[in-house]
Structure 1
Amino acid sequence: MKKHTTKIRVRYSETDQMGVVYHGNYAQFFEIGRTEWLRSLGVTYKNMETNGTMLPVVSLQCNFIKSALYDDVLTIHTFIKKKPMVKIEFYYEIKNQENELICTGNSVLAFMNMKTKKPMPCPEYVLNKIDL
């Protein structure tokens, strides 16, 4: 299972009046995790789109365990458990600077042909870089 770790610091604009991270921002944190996971393989969304592949989100789940606060340093652990086919499922664990689990989640994305707007298999150049 290929796992990638990304660190971010919670910005003031990502919090509510109580200094707690607004729940909608976790989708963005997950996106940061998966784009950096792909980048660690040498693949970027820009590269995929240049090659005619889109990767839209078809499902997103987030389980909140503890509040993240303004100025916390969060570690986003991103990984997959199985080889992607037409879909790829990412799993996430976000921890704070005390290594306390903040949330877990997953997202499913579909490989889509940009011209036909139809699902397609995971490109070979991506599969070749995934070590499971």
Structure 2
Amino acid sequence: MFTYRSTLRVRYAETDQMGVVHHGNYASYLELARIEWLENLGFSYKKLEADGVMLPVYDLKFSFKSPAYFDDTLTVETTLATLPSASIIFDYNIYNEDQKLITTAQSTLVFVDMKTRRPIRCPENILDRLKQEGS
């Protein structure tokens, strides 16, 4: 499925006294990567919300293989696991600048109508674009 690679630099505030990235920061890294993934596909998360659709996180899993450190440049590889329905599942691999896999993750988000706060199906324009990318 559709994969996008984002890069980021670890800031000092994201680390503990040993210079190691605190595990709580990885959720933010994934969020940044998802937004870039969507933008690269041609969609704005801000416009999605303006159109009344939000994507809250339903499930989030991490496997930490090796630490990341202050000032490391990380690459977050975001891959769509399957075509979305009412939910969308992403798989992630995070690499350090030596291309060593340091973290794997998976997130499940649900398409929700902002007015009713009820799950809805993935917008057709996103599905259509994903199908184009897959062919």
Q: How many residues align?
A: 132
Report the TM-score when normalising by structure 2: 0.96
The Cα offsets for residues 62-112 of structure 1, whole Å up to 9 and x where unpaired, read as: 100000000100000001121000000011000000000010001000000
2:101 match: 101
Larger helix proportion of the pair? 2
The Cα offsets for residues 27-66 of structure 1, whole Å up to 9 and x where unpaired, read as: 0011111110001011121110111101000000010000
1:52 match: 52
1:40 match: 40
Q: Write the letter of the residue equivalent to 1:107.
A: S
Find the aligned partners of 1:50 and 1:19 in 2 and give their Cα distance.
39
Q: Secondary structure of 2:74's match? A: strand
* CA shift for structure 1 position 115: 0.8
Find the aligned partners of 2:81 and 2:23 in 1 and give their Cα distance.
25
Q: Secondary structure of 1:75's match? A: strand
Find the aligned partners of 2:50 and 2:38 in 1 and give their Cα distance.
15
Deviates more, 1:15-24 or 1:45-54: 45-54
Q: Could you list the runs of 5+ residues in structure 1 that have no partner in the other structure?
A: none
Find the aligned partners of 2:62 and 2:9 in 1 and give their Cα distance.
19
Q: Write the letter of the residue equivalent to 1:93.
A: N
1:89 match: 89
Q: Secondary structure of 1:118's match? A: coil
Q: Runs of at least 4 residues of structure 1 off by over 6 A?
A: none
Find the aligned partners of 1:41 and 1:9 in 2 and give their Cα distance.
23
Sequence identity percentage: 46
Report the TM-score when normalising by structure 1: 0.98
